[in-house]
Structure 1
């Protein structure tokens, strides 16, 4: 599959996920209430920390699958796949053990106001089992990404999200409890991993999961790579997944909701842009393996520019329309979420382009320094959030995320990544950023004039604004690409004329 198609199918999957999220979040919130939903968010945030048990092997299996599939080294591919899957099975067992311990310790961790202890314990056990199944089956998804079959992997995600929507609407009204939500999560996780497993073996007929493929040297190679991607995973969890836990324990479950609304919208904006990096990572490994350095540099510049225009357009839209959007989506009374969203998304204007460079570096095998830098950023994030929380409340947590991000991502990672990839500032600016002034200017003008029409918090108006913005953005990007193509053609013709004249 082509790179462009993989990006488009990833965006389609995200669009479906986004639409279902828009429907489910207010539905669940108003069905179970703020307190129960806040408890659900808190439990999910705690369960989400089991993602650390992936140990960074997700990037490892994607990179090595891409490498050995390109080189047609099937034995090495099977050995790598078997070794990483065996590690995941061990991590899954640990996840179940952690779930049991957390269920036992539940009354000492929190008072869980409004919820019975047995229900809290049951939900924790179910979420632990859910995490274990996700971890055990994740190597199959890594294989699909490694061979760049994002069409298959994303199609499974689309189907699973539609199933989750149907199950939630069908069962939550009948039993408005945490256990119902947890069981729905578990059911779709089982189906998703079963489908991914079947497709991985179907698309690579030579793929084998065998005890005889386990090799000490393969474990050593995978661990040496994944050790640093694991540090990046820890950092990502500290930055993006501990805020709700911090707020929940220090300010109470109800305080989680306004921050989570802002964080959720920010994640929905981040996700499609980050899909570019996920698609680029195995492609970068493929280009490096075939020593196509010029093509790799061009790929980075084009991707960097695309992430800049998408993140910048989102920030402009949030600045003008986030209050109306949040009110029509969730309801009145969450004005604070709009300001929190502005703070969180401002940092993503820098983070998202540099995240793409981080994924490309991972695809090429350069992981050590970016991982250590990311971990340092995460520690500073946590410390600053703890310092600012007593004085600024939820805003302190958001600012604690923003400041280290700007310093470490924009000030250190960006120039370091450019140097590693052999890029210069003028080259990145000219090929990646400069050409994006057209779509960004069009979005800014569009948002300004539409905002002056006094848009009301109604779905028809919000959807109309969003549709218009998409049309303007796509048109602007298309115009920018046309100008770029014409300039490239003129440059080629000029070079040919000079050569002809010389002859």
Structure 2
């Protein structure tokens, strides 16, 4: 029986999100308490530093998805084989550059963090850094296989691997930390699992998909085209790193690892929030590429943007409204006292993200149309503003000041500039998009207003917090059904409810 890869890919994405969030709900406080605030901050700081070196991937991952999907749509097998071989040559060079940059950074870690880290912390940081940089050099070329699988619209296996990795990682880390191991052990586990999962994906590509990688001719035009396309994706990746990791580095240099830990918890929650939108948008790039190749109109692409954007808003709305109402108590129960500011940091970032994440399909449209150059340039300019503001505000307001710098960048770059570009250059009907979201926004505000009544009920334990969140979800769903949802969304929800009810009836 043929599996509906798109449908089950979305379902498994949400399963992976659920599994990831539940395991992190359990694992994060366990890690924080076993490592201590200082070493946890150090662990997050080195992870952020490696993240900047990881951008040397040069955007080839997205490039592979776009071009392989294009070659498949054109049924050009030879072109695909030649393209993949060319990207592997580029990846080989990139891995060597990563090692070189890693060695240079490693030799200067003492100088970079001399004012904020102790000698013992620098020693631990060096061990973690060398493990991660070697792992990065090995796995960067392997990322191409994940791109190939996505371009072939095979979404089930990658998401099963993600779910398996989450569960295996959580189990091993719980055991190791219980035995007294620290941050270095976590880094080593992550490195080993990354390599193992990549090897599984590589085997699937060669043995199941029967993909061949063969350099028929070295095409200079293709080589330049790959670099031109990927360089723009690369700029976007650099900007994303600045958005989400600049605070870790700034605070790691001007403050302390404890402040980094508080900031990291807030930003981690923001990252979890992002995953709720990528579950839908992440499977649409190959389909959008086919629509673009087949000359889909701006209104047809706008219809897709609205359809997915509304579904994303429905999901994001229940998450952020729950966090607005109960997030402060959640953080206190989750990681304990000393992290109260993490709630404010997370909210500062999540509120503008709610708008940005309803339009993630727009990024896929840009990539499919090969029009993402403007986004890259705008984001680069705004990210520079983000760095300057974050450095300035970090000295006055600490971690909260850095969060404000990130939010300002999101508003100016992602919301204002990009929507102007989407409307006037890409041909998307942005006024119609926001008009279609307006009813959902009103419903969200109403549901939060009604939800404040639940705050009068004590929630000093996990059980009471879960009950309160569950009660609010019923309010949210009722208000959205009455005020926000259109007929398609109601029908979709009703059909899923009937399916679940039917499966439960069969199992009894």
TM-score, with structure 2 as normaliser: 0.88
Distance across 2 between alignment mates of 1:198 and 1:98: 30
Match of residue 357, structure 2, among 349, 352, 356: 352
Partner of 2:388: 383
Distance across 1 between alignment mates of 2:259 and 2:490: 53
Q: 1:476–1:292: structure 2 CA closer, same or farther, 3 Å change rule?
A: farther
Match of residue 197, structure 2, among 192, 195, 207: 192
Partner of 2:222: 218
Shift of 1:244: 0.6
Shift of 1:393: 1.6
Residue correspondence of structure 1 range 470-485 to structure 2 within 5 A: 470=473, 483-484=487-488
Shift of 1:212: 4.2
The unaligned stretches of length 5 or more in structure 2 are 492-508
Distance across 2 between alignment mates of 1:120 and 1:424: 49
Shift of 1:425: 4.2
The unaligned stretches of length 5 or more in structure 1 are 488-503
Distance across 1 between alignment mates of 2:124 and 2:377: 40
Residue 57, structure 1, aligned to residue 60, structure 2: yes
Partner of 1:259: 263
Q: 1:113–1:406: structure 2 CA closer, same or farther, 3 Å change rule?
A: same
Shift of 1:160: 0.9
Distance across 1 between alignment mates of 2:273 and 2:202: 29
Q: 1:391–1:271: structure 2 CA closer, same or farther, 3 Å change rule?
A: same
Contact 1:36-1:115 at 8 Å conserved across structures: no
Shift of 1:54: 1.0
Residue 277, structure 1, aligned to residue 281, structure 2: yes
Residue correspondence of structure 1 range 80-479 to structure 2 within 5 A: 80-111=83-114, 112-113=117-118, 115=120, 118-205=123-210, 207-212=211-216, 214-293=218-297, 294-430=299-435, 432-437=436-441, 440=444, 443-445=447-449, 447-456=451-460, 458-470=461-473
Distance across 1 between alignment mates of 2:486 and 2:149: 33
Contact 2:276-2:316 at 8 Å conserved across structures: no
SS in 1 for 2:284: helix
SS in 2 for 1:37: helix
Over the residues paired in the alignment, what is the CA RMSD in angstroms? 2.4
Partner of 2:40: 37
Distance across 1 between alignment mates of 2:129 and 2:415: 38
Shift of 1:469: 4.8
Distance across 1 between alignment mates of 2:332 and 2:325: 14
Partner of 2:16: 13
TM-score, with structure 1 as normaliser: 0.89
SS in 2 for 1:136: coil
Distance across 1 between alignment mates of 2:149 and 2:402: 37
Contact 1:38-1:254 at 8 Å conserved across structures: yes
Superimposed CA distance per residue, residues 356-394 of structure 1 (whole angstroms, 9 cap, x where no aligned partner): 322321122211111111111111111111122222222
Distance across 1 between alignment mates of 2:381 and 2:441: 33
Contact 2:113-2:252 at 8 Å conserved across structures: no
SS in 1 for 2:141: helix
SS in 1 for 2:282: helix
Q: 1:253–1:75: structure 2 CA closer, same or farther, 3 Å change rule?
A: same
Partner of 2:25: 22
SS in 2 for 1:243: helix
Moved more, 245-254 or 478-487: 478-487
Distance across 1 between alignment mates of 2:489 and 2:321: 27
Distance across 1 between alignment mates of 2:33 and 2:490: 53
Contact 1:62-1:142 at 8 Å conserved across structures: yes
Q: 1:187–1:465: structure 2 CA closer, same or farther, 3 Å change rule?
A: farther
Partner of 2:498: none
Contact 1:104-1:121 at 8 Å conserved across structures: no
Contact 2:345-2:403 at 8 Å conserved across structures: yes
Distance across 2 between alignment mates of 1:373 and 1:196: 35
Q: 1:82–1:472: structure 2 CA closer, same or farther, 3 Å change rule?
A: farther
Q: 1:75–1:332: structure 2 CA closer, same or farther, 3 Å change rule?
A: same
Q: 1:23–1:86: structure 2 CA closer, same or farther, 3 Å change rule?
A: farther
Distance across 2 between alignment mates of 1:118 and 1:247: 19
